[in-house]
Amino acid sequence: MSRLKPGQTFSFVPDETGQPLTATVKRLGARIDEGSQTLLLIASLPKAEGLLGGMSGTAHFAEFK
C-alpha cells in the first residue's frame, strides 16, 4: 500500500468497452480488507465515449509489473 500514492497514474480498462484509459489516483482507503484483500481506491478518469458510472474493469499499475 505504501507504493500507491495520490497523483499516481495507471491504466484502467473498463470491462464494457475494453478501451484503456489513463486514470489518476485521488484517494486511498485507510486499510486493506483482510477477507477480500482489497483496498478502496478513488480515481478520476477523463470523459470518454461510452463510459458510465457503475462500470467495472481492471486497473494496471506499470510500477508493479
| pLDDT surpassing 70 at residue 1 | no
pLDDT value of position 7? 96
Q: What is the pLDDT of residues 6-46, one digit of tens each?
A: 999 999 999 999 999 999 999 999 899 999 999 899 999 98
Look at residue 63 and give its three-state secondary structure. helix
| pLDDT surpassing 90 at residue 48 | no
- The residues facing 25 across adjacent strands are 43
- The residues facing 58 across adjacent strands are 13
Question: What is the pTM assigned to this prediction?
Answer: 0.80
Confidence of residue 65 (pLDDT cuts 50, 70, 90): low
| Structural Rg of the chain based on CA atoms | 12
C-alpha separations of 20 from 16, 36, 45, 51, 56 in Å: 11, 25, 11, 11, 12
